Amino acid sequence: MRLEWLEPDRRLRVHAPAKINLILEVLGERRDGYHEIDSLFLAVSLCDTLEIERVDGGSVELDVVPAFAGGPGGLEAPPVEGNLVLAAVEALRRRADAAGRSPAGGLRLRLEKRIPLGAGLGGGSSDAAATLVALDGLWGLGLPLDELEGAAAELGSDVAFFLHGGLARCRGRGEIVEPVRVGGGGADAAIEGFHAVLVSPAVAVPTPSVYKKLRELRGVGRGLTTQTPFTTMPPESLLERLREGHLLANRLQEVAFLLFPDLRRLKEFLEAEPFLAVQLTGSGSTLFGLCRSASHAERIAGSLRTRLPAWEPSRTLGRVLVHAVRGIPGWSAGRPRR
Show which residues are catalytic.
19, 158
- State the Cα–Cα distance between residues 183 and 176, nearest whole angstrom: 22
Nearer to ligand C5P, 107 or 151 (CB): 151
Nearer to ligand C5P, 157 or 314 (CB): 157
Q: How far is the CB of 128 from ligand C5P (least distance, A)?
A: 10
SS3 letters for the chain?
CEEEEEECCCEEEEEEEEEEEEEEEEEEECCCCCEEEEEEEEEEEEEEEEEEEEECCCCEEEEEEECCCCCHHHCCCCCCCCCHHHHHHHHHHHHHHHCCCCCCCEEEEEEEECCCCCCCCCHHHHHHHHHHHHHHHHCCCCCCHHHHHHHHHHHCCCHHHHHHECEEEEEECCCEEEECCCCCCCHHHHHHCCEEEEEECCCCCCHHHHHHHHHHCCCCCCCCCCCCHHHHCCHHHHHHHHHCCCCCEECCHHHHHHHCHHHHHHHHHHHCCCCCEEEECCCCCCEEEEECCHHHHHHHHHHHHHHHHHCCCHHHHCCCEEEEEEECCECCCCCCCC
Nearer to ligand C5P, 39 or 45 (CB): 39
Q: How far is the CB of 260 from ligand C5P (least distance, A)?
A: 16
Nearer to ligand C5P, 87 or 300 (CB): 87
Q: How far is the CB of 210 from ligand C5P (least distance, A)?
A: 8
Q: How far is the CB of 53 from ligand C5P (least distance, A)?
A: 28
Nearer to ligand C5P, 24 or 297 (CB): 24
In the complex, the residues that contact ligand C5P under the rule CB under 6 A are 34-35, 37, 156-158, 173-174, 207-208, 211
Q: How far is the CB of 175 from ligand C5P (least distance, A)?
A: 8
Q: How far is the CB of 153 from ligand C5P (least distance, A)?
A: 9
- State the Cα–Cα distance between residues 301 and 291, nearest whole angstrom: 10
* b/e sequence 93-110, b meaning 16+ C-beta within 10 Å: bebbeeeeeebeeebebe
Nearer to ligand C5P, 5 or 34 (CB): 34
